Amino acid sequence: MSDTTARQRTIAKEITLTGVGLHTGENVTMKFVPAPEHHGYAFKRVDLEGEPIIEADANFVINTQRGTNLEKHGVKIQTSEHVLAALVGLEIDNVLIELDSPEPPIMDGSAKYFVEALEKAGIVEQKAEREEYVVKDVISYKDEGTGSEITIIPSDEYQITTMVDFGTKVLGTQNATLEHITDFKTEIADARTFSFLHELEMLLEHGLIKGGDLNNAIVYVDKEISDTTMKRLEKAFNKKKLSVKPNGILDNLTLHQPNEAARHKLLDVVGDLALAGTRIKGKVIANKPGHFVNTQFAKKLAKIIKQDKRNNVPNYDLNKAPLMDVTEIMKMLPHRPPFLLVDKILELSESHVVGVKNVTMNEPFFVGHFPGAPVMPGVLQVEAMAQTGGILVLSTVPDPENYLTFFMKINNVRFKRQVVPGDTLIFKCDLISPIRRGICHMQAYAYANGKLVSEAELMAQIVKTKSD
């Protein structure tokens, strides 16, 4: 993982769009709502009881037929990809998407109208630093059945190349490349969704494209078209007369670019990979991409990112003079030996702290805790993390010696490896949300020997003691 100097971003105000859902044909009202730091992307179904929220997470993908469809606790969101692509393309990190229907409006089948709405709402910087996954090794996923494959390789920025080959005369091999995410708006956002005539006929037969009109889909005619089929299409799309252009598409619209299909596939890749949940620094090469392979790759990537985050031990020079030694720590913390479990502080900012403890055989707890096979108790590792976090919260008041820190909540505690005499423990605590009213909510990690040994989500409050 890499914490870049760039800040997280959200939108300045709410903005609403209306349209129809491509597959449901229902009128949809969609609202983009500003969201706090570390929120990411999530959908809220305001038409359902309790207004349930579904996070944009690859693990919630249930099927990828005719779009990327998410489901959580029985609540569904269909065709999420174009909206997510617009958010990634504008480098917006935190937004809540409110919907009164299972799917966003299709608009013209591209991300253009979403981009325009988000820009109209205004993009604002937040305080927290943006998290980015820096690709160091080649990661691939291949669907053996279709031959579709996605690979990501190291790169100085997020880049995407898509190569499509539909094996038809009307739409053969096409490529599209996005060199800089900042070019998404001008190069990719207006690329519209497309369909082949044979797919369209099947969708119409099964009543699966109710909201479609020919203003939001390019139709490639990949087979002979009979008069009967043409009449059905004219009726379905409410057009008096349709014909096939020389370039093999129905004459409802004009292509924006010759490779609009490949560009739209690239748009889909951007939207689907948003489900990995973290910004990416690497080059994606997608050969014959589709929603299935895209989301499987996003799922694999999310897993790797999570493991990397846990195992990516921060690199600190333990020989360097500390920011605070044990005597300075004791000026802030009320704890004293044998219950003071932090030896020095290496780093301290408004949002994080790094502390160190050297574990020796002389620890008092080893007298009773497996003296024949000494292992540092897990609860004391959590206590040591909390003491390190205490330094962070106490650094926000001018007279820390007049405060005590009390636990309010401990969640998601995991112990990964044993801690034994001779280990040097490094504690890193990051704020999950800003400190308010002396309440500190943080994610804490403990590392030893280049590995994660324990982690916990901690909430503590500082309380002022009565002064004399």
8 A C-beta contact, residue 92 and residue 123: yes
8 A C-beta contact, residue 348 and residue 395: yes
8 A C-beta contact, residue 269 and residue 275: no
8 A C-beta contact, residue 37 and residue 127: yes
Q: Which residues contact 377 (CB under 8 A, 6 or more apart)?
A: 365, 369
Residue with tokens 């969704």: 193
- Active site annotation includes 369: yes
Residue 250 carries which DSSP code? B
- Active site annotation includes 291: yes
How many Å apart are CA 98 and CA 29, to the nearest integer?
A: 8
8 A C-beta contact, residue 314 and residue 354: yes
Residue 122 carries which DSSP code? -
Considering only CA atoms, which of 334, 284, 290, 299 is closest in space to residue 463? 334
Considering only CA atoms, which of 351, 329, 353 is closest in space to residue 341? 329
Exposed, middle or buried: residue 388 (CB in 10 Å: 0-12, 13-18, 19+)? Answer: buried
- Copy the structure tokens of residue 299: 């799922």
CB atoms within 10 A of CB 167: 9
How many Å apart are CA 160 and CA 286, to the nearest integer?
A: 8
Alpha-carbon Rg for the chain in angstroms? 27
Which of the residues 82, 264, 291, 352 is marked catalytic?
291
CA 429, chain centre distance (Å): 21
Considering only CA atoms, which of 121, 92, 108, 459 is closest in space to residue 252? 108
Considering only CA atoms, which of 163, 132, 131 is closest in space to residue 148? 163
217 sits in which H/E element: none
DSSP 167-211: --SSS-EEEEEES-GGGHHHHTTTPPPEEEHHHHHHHHHTT--TT
Is cis: bond before 400, omega within 30 of 0? Answer: no
Instruction: Return the SS3 of 82.
Output: helix
Active site residues: 291, 369
